[in-house]
Amino acid sequence: MWRAVLTRGSSLITLHNIKGCSFKYFSTEMDSIKLGKKSAAYIAVDENIQDNQVIGIGSGSTIVYAAERIAQKVKEEKLKLVCIPTSFQARQLILDNGLTLSDLERNPELDVALDGADEVDSRFNLIKGGGGCLTQEKIVASCSKKFIVIADFRKDSQVLGEHYTRGIPIEVIPMAYKPIMRKIKTLYGGSLELRMARAKAGPLITDNGNFIIDWKFESGDHDWKKVNTELLMIPGIVETGLFINMANKAYFGMQDGTIKVREPEPLTNGNGFITNSEK
């Protein structure tokens, strides 16, 4: 267990783990959310990144801290790492932190992929894509032996939609957005919105040149694996922000400064054999 100690009246933060290791850093406006993101990212990097690995770098605000910590480790421990981006932002993060940039052509198999999430439910179903990146993230995670989620306490839920209320992001081919919205509404109900850009008139355009639809689903018990499979059968849907049976571990930076680590329950088939132990 890690604990972050924020010394009141100053900006010194110390992270301790059970082995007695600790590190300190200074912060000016470190609120509990930022602290949660940073401590989860730092500890996930420390526990999962080793020399000679190929690493997937996710997207969003939490991964920024992971890239920062990876760069520190590369410098201090002279690690040889290769990084695969999941977005334009991730590519910039890799370059800005002086890390080695690669791609799936040169490194089709990764050792570990690190990424944020918008929500993680009790069954380890994830919502991703709140920042408009999901397709490349899912591809990179699917090529990795381990997929590690880093997030603050707000992302830790029992069911999807409990905390993250913007719905499930779905990346679509632009010409198909309207019929796709109608089909999803007919199949499952809820409401759908074409995500608009913030500083540009018109829709948000993804790194792949597509649109994002946010599907606010109706609350209730959903079989997300089935829903995801069915959505992917609709022509024009490129990818969904539902990440099912993909993550191996999640680190949540909690409000009290501790880190909550969750791992999925082993999945068993009809004969009781564990089916998700390979990653």
Ligand X SMILES: O=C[C@H](O)[C@H](O)[C@H](O)COP(=O)(O)O
Q: Is 61 in the site for ligand X (CB under 6 A)?
A: yes
Question: Minimum distance between the CB of residue 129 and ligand X, rounded to whole angstroms?
Answer: 5
Shortest Å, Cβ 23 to ligand X: 21
* 3 state DSSP class of 113: strand
148's tokens:
């590690």
Output 14 or 157, the one with its CB closest to ligand X: 157
Place of tokens 């930076």: 253
Direct distance between the N- and C-terminal alpha carbons of the chain, in angstroms, rounded to an integer: 23
* Candidate list 43, 57, 120, 134; residue touching ligand X; CB under 6 A: 134
Q: How far is residue 207's CA from residue 94's CA, in Å, rounded to a whole number?
A: 16
For the bound state, the minimum distance from the C-beta of residue 236 to ligand X, rounded and expressed in Å, comes to 20
Residue among 47, 77, 137, 162 flagged as catalytic:
137
Question: In degrees to the nearest 10, what's the CA dihedral of 188, 191, 197, 202?
Answer: 100
Please, which of residues 244-263 interact with ligand X by CB under 6 A? none
Which stretch, 19-27, 43-51, 58-66, 213-221, contacts ligand X (CB under 6 A)?
58-66
CA distance 90 to 86: 6
CA 210 vs CA 175, 200, 232: distances in Å:
9, 15, 15
- Please enumerate in sequence order all residues whose Cβ is within 8 A of that of 183, keeping only pairs 6 or more positions apart, or say none: 234
Contacting residue, 119, 121, 137, 239, with ligand X by CB under 6 A: 137
Nearer to ligand X, 36 or 236 (CB): 36
Can you tell me the distance from the alpha carbon of 24 to that of 72, in angstroms, rounded to the nearest whole number? 13
Binding status of residue 144 toward ligand X by CB under 6 A: no
Q: Does residue 69 touch ligand X according to CB under 6 A?
A: no
Q: In the window 94-123, what residues touch ligand X (CB under 6 A)?
A: 115-118
Secondary structure class of 46 (helix, strand, coil): helix
- The single residue among 36, 56, 58, 236 that binds ligand X, judged by CB under 6 A, is 58
Total binding residues toward ligand X, as defined by CB under 6 A: 17
161 makes contact with ligand X (CB under 6 A): no
Q: How far is the CB of 116 from ligand X (least distance, A)?
A: 3
Minimum distance, C-beta of residue 268 to ligand X, in the bound complex (Å): 29
Give Cα 158 distance to the centre of its chain. Answer: 17
Contact pick of 36, 56, 60, 161 for ligand X (by CB under 6 A): 60
Nearer to ligand X, 116 or 183 (CB): 116
- Among positive and negative, which fits the CA dihedral 17, 21, 22, 23? negative
SS3 3: strand
Is 162 one of the catalytic residues? no
**Catalytic residue positions?**
137
Residues near ligand X, by CB under 6 A: 58-62, 115-118, 128-134, 137
